[in-house]
Amino acid sequence: MKRAKVNQGGDLQEYKDVYVIGECLDGRLHPVTLELMGEGRKLANQLKRHLGVILLGDDMDEALEHLQDYDTDVIYHLKHPLLKDFSTEGYVKVLNDFIRGNKPEILLIGATSFGRDIAPRLAGRLGTGLTADCTKLEIDPADGKLLQTRPAFGGNLMATIICPKNRPQMSTVRPGVMERAHKLGEGKAHLVTVIPELDAEDIRVALVEKKPPAKKQVNLIDARVVVSGGRGLKTPEGFRLIEDLADVLGGEVGSSRACVDAGWISHAHQVGQTGTTVRPEIYIACGISGAIQHLAGMSEADYVVAINKDPEAPIFKVCDYGIVGDLYEILPAMIEDYRKRKEEADHA
Amino acid sequence: MNSIVCIKQVPNTNEVRINQETGTLIRDGVPSIINPDDKNAIEGALKIKEELGGTVTVITMGPEQAKAALREAMAMGADRAILLSDRAFAGSDTWATATILAAALEKIGETDLIFCGRQAIDGDTAQVGPELAEFLDIPQVTYAKEVSVEKGRVRVTRYGEFGDYIMEARMPVMLTAIRELNEPRLPHVRNIIGAWEKKEIEVWTMEDLTIDPTQIGLKGSPTNVFRSFVPVREKQSEIIQGNTPREKAALLLDRLSSQKLV
């Protein structure tokens, strides 16, 4: 295979439209797909271009019908039996052919573990730059180029990256950050089925088995309430109290990186730069000091509550409501009080 | 079974501070470490060497100081270490870095396994591994949490958000390691001395490699930093005052229920 090169002085004007690559694996449409569509629409409107959604798979009528209700100009279904299961090489081959043929100006991919597997490989084959894990995308009003902003150095610094000489401009986009697409009404989006060329020999890694998630799924991304514990818990058992509060409020349990690193709780619970980004209505940080890398994962919460012994903890600068005190006293009092209120409301 | 591990020396981002006025990093006094995922990559390669024999080569790109990371890797048990260092490499983005690494790996020659860490804690891109595999035209499995070699095939358990995948590949293959893969060993005393005394670190420059100069460095990188800034947060915080934990808890719940949050 001939290796692609960048900076070949190609005509950038040939590239038009904004494309996003949806993620639908094992029949499950990843929520980032709608977020990419929402963001893609915003960029396409600013550029006065069309928005296209690419979905790879074999038979996937349910997901396609669902997406057709949302705001996009066109959905491209790259349909092939060999695309039924995920493979880096199968996905990259058909995407490369399709993108080279259609020449979008901007290409967005979800920064999931699968998106971040294929995107660099695809950029490498197309001969263009890629910006990872973007949290903000804008069009430069001066020249229409894509400004791709992302956290670096553990969220201590934000960097805006550009890709001036190569197309498409490619970004992976952090899940949970962008606004989801609007519903337009049933089946409004135009569906185009594309049959790509793909041979079994193109795929050198075989998927042998799919394992279901081991434990009860932690669903931090969609949680309305997240109660998180940090180093201030002092012991791993402290998470029982966090769980109790999360349970009575109908929320999920989150954690700072320190507790995950200490082995107190699994990585699936980690909120922050190297964990999950959450956008709940209420985020309750208990015994969390508020390191920037943690704040990067929760700054989208509508309301932040901080409970910490240390009045100087940085978390108090970013909270809506703060309580300076011992979480082992405050949390049981909250649980008891909340239960009492609920009972009263139920009897009223 | 011969493995190459690509590693990166990074500042410990837990200790990085920002000069709020200039928006630049204060690196003084911040220790440099081997990127955490890369340590899992080294450990993964060492385990396979112990089981099946062969060698482990570690390679990094960076200035002279990056030798410390290579020495540490040798003290963990790596057999050979290569530093890629040249002014022409400075300012490389992931494309350019992968281009340089690919040239070095082609020079090293036949390899069975290439290990990288999933992502580095300074840039957090997770792009160099897959771009490297693409340039070498070899398959990849990222987010590896279990790796075993049986009958000339590599079996990898790959993390996925909605359940793991078990993948099988022929060699050579590029794998990216995540924390769950293993517990990296501490450097061995005997190896530490060896790493300083016996084993030489090879230094390769532009002249040692076959590289198209238009594809590397600041100028060859397809992506550039347009600007960087310190994130700002503005919020009106209310610290709830009360005499007892009970009172504080009740006042907090009052606030939350008045906003219809609970």
In the prediction, which pLDDT does A27 show?
87
Range of lowest pLDDT (A59-63, A170-174, B29-33, B42-46): B29-33
Across-strand partners of A194?
A78
Q: Give kind and range of the element (H or E) at residue B165.
A: strand B165-170
Residue A211 falls inside a structural domain:
no
- Dist CA A110 CA A112 (whole Å): 5
Provide the strand spans (E) within chain A: 18-21, 24-25, 28-29, 51-57, 74-79, 106-110, 130-134, 136-139, 146-152, 157-162, 169-173, 190-194, 205-210, 225-229, 252-255, 282-286, 303-308, 321-324
> pLDDT tens digit string along A114-127?
999 999 999 999 99
Domain ranges of chain B: 3-220
At residue B198, the pLDDT reads: 66
Average pLDDT, stretch A330-343? 94
pLDDT above 80 for B143: yes
A5·B163 Cβ contact <8 A: no
In a shared domain, residues A139 and A195: yes
Contacts of B140 (CB under 8 A, 6+ apart): A88, A117, A121, A205, B129, B130, B133, B173, B174, B175, B176
Q: For residue range A14-39, what is the model confidence (pLDDT) as tens digits?
A: 999 999 999 999 888 999 999 999 99
Highest mean pLDDT among A95-104, A211-220, B154-163: A95-104
Q: Is residue A297 part of a domain?
A: yes
The per-residue pLDDT for B201 is 94
Residue in A26, A156, A334 closest to B253 by CB: A334
Asked whether the predicted pLDDT for residue B234 surpasses 90, the reply is no
Claim to verify: residue A185 and residue A239 sit in the same structural domain: no
Q: Which residue has the tokens 């629409």?
A: A41
Best B161, B233, B239 member to test A by mutation, with max A CBs in 10 Å, is: B161
What distance separates the 2 farthest-apart alpha carbons in chain B?
72
**What residues of B are in contact with residue A164 (Cβ under 8 Å)?**
224
> Min CA distance, B194 vs chain A (Å)?
31
The CATH number that domain B3-220 falls under is 3.40.50.620
**Do B214 and A7 lie within an 8 Å CB cutoff?**
yes
Percent with pLDDT over 70 in chain A: 99
pLDDT band, residue B199 (cuts 50/70/90): confident
pLDDT for position A215? 60
Q: Residue A188: its pLDDT value, please?
A: 82
Determine whether the interchain pair B250/A333 forms a contact, defined as Cβ–Cβ distance below 8 Å: yes
Predicted pLDDT of residue A167: 98
Parallel, antiparallel or unpaired: strands A157-162 and A24-25: unpaired
Q: For residue B169, is pLDDT > 70?
A: yes
The residue with greater pLDDT, B23 or B36, is B36
A308 and A165 part of one domain: no
pLDDT tens for residues B66-107?
999 999 999 999 999 999 999 999 999 999 999 999 999 999
Nearest to A282 among B141, B143, B256 (CB): B256
Residue B259 has pLDDT above 90, yes or no: no
Which of B171, B237, B247 is best to mutate for the A interface (most A CBs within 10 A)?
B237
Across the interface, of A7, A204, A212, the residue whose CB is closest to B139 is A204
DSSP A178-243: SPPPPB-STT-SEEEEE-----GGG--EEEEEEPPPSSSPP--TT-SEEEEE-GGG-STTHHHHHH
Looking at the fold, whether A39 and A93 belong to one and the same domain comes out as yes
pLDDT, position B29? 80
Task: Using the predicted structure, report yes or no on whether residue A277 has a pLDDT greater than 90.
Answer: no
Domain contains A212: no
CB neighbour burial string for B131-147, b if at least 16 within 10 angstroms, e if fewer: bbbbbbebbbbbbbbeb
A302 and A185 together in one domain: no
pLDDT at A279: 86
User: What would the pLDDT profile of B45-70 be if each residue is shown by its tens digit?
Assistant: 999 999 999 999 999 999 999 999 99
| B226 vs A345: CA distance, rounded Å | 55
- Dist. CA B122–CA B44, nearest whole Å: 22
**CB-based contact A324 B157, cutoff 8 Å:** no
Q: Which residue of A has its CA nearest to B262?
A: A249
Residues A149, A187 within the same domain: yes
Cα separation, B254 vs B259, in Å, equals 9
- Return the structure tokens found at B184: 């990296």
Instruction: Give which of A6, A25, A174 to mutate to test B binding, by max B Cβ within 10 Å.
Output: A6
What is the C-alpha separation between A175 and B225, in angstroms, rounded? 23
What ipTM is given for this predicted complex?
0.90
Return the pLDDT at B258: 86
A260 lies in which domain range?
A: 225-347
Contact B127 A130 (CB under 8 A): yes
Interatomic CA distance for residues B164 and A210, integer angstroms? 6
Q: Would the CA dihedral through A254, A257, A259, A263 be positive or negative?
A: positive
Question: What confidence score (pLDDT) does residue B233 get?
Answer: 62
- Bond prior to A151 in cis (omega within 30° of 0): no
High-pLDDT (> 90) share of chain B, % = 76
Asked whether residue A76 falls in the same domain as residue A176, the answer is yes
d(CA A276, CA A297): 6
For residues A176 and A90, state if they share a domain: yes
- Is residue A161 a contact partner of residue B223, using CB atoms and an 8 Å limit? yes
Number of domains chain A is built from: 2
* A144 or B14: which leads in pLDDT: A144
CB-CB neighbors (< 8 A) of B25 in chain A: 153, 156-157
A327 lies in a domain?
Answer: yes
The reply to whether A110 and A57 lie within a common domain is yes
Q: Name the residue facing B223 among A161, A208, A320 (closest C-beta).
A: A161
Partner-chain contact A132 B246, CB within 8 Å: no
| Residue A187: pLDDT over 90 | no
Q: Which of A137-151, A173-187, B109-123, B223-237 has the lowest mean pLDDT?
A: B223-237
Residues A28 and A33: their CA atoms lie apart, in Å, by 11
Report yes or no on A208 lying in a domain.
no
User: Mean pLDDT over residues A251-265, rounded?
Assistant: 93
CA of B147 vs chain A CAs: smallest distance (Å): 14
Task: State whether A165 and A282 are in the same domain.
Answer: no
Q: Which residues of B178-192 are buried (b: 16+ CB within 10 A; e: fewer)?
A: bbebbebeebeeebb
Neighbour tally for B100: CB within 10 Å: 26
Q: Which one of B18, B95, B155 has the shortest CB-CB distance to A129?
A: B95
Other CB atoms within 10 A of residue A184 CB? 13
- For all residues of chain A together, what is the average pLDDT? 94
CATH assignment of the domain containing A233: 3.40.50.1220
Domain end call among A146, A167, A202? A202
- Confidence check: pLDDT of B197 > 90: no
On whether both A180 and A229 belong to a single domain, the answer is no
Least confident of A71-75, A301-305, B79-83: A301-305
Q: Which of A7, A128, A158 is facing B220, going by the closest CB pair?
A: A7
**A185 vs A91, residue with greater confidence:** A91
CA of A334 to nearest chain B CA: how many angstroms apart? 5
**C-beta of residue A92 within 8 angstroms of C-beta of residue A58:** no
Confidence of residue B15 (pLDDT cuts 50, 70, 90): low
A18 and A133 part of one domain: yes
Question: Least CA distance to A140: which residue of chain B?
Answer: B226
Helix residue ranges per DSSP H, B173-212: 189-197
For all residues of chain B together, what is the average pLDDT?
A: 92
CA distance A181 to chain B (A): 22
More confidently predicted of A300 and A139:
A139
B146: three-class secondary structure by DSSP: strand
Which of B137, B226, B231 is opposite residue A147, by nearest beta carbon? Answer: B226
Tokens standing for residue B69: 């990371």
Say which CATH number the domain at A157 has: 3.40.50.620
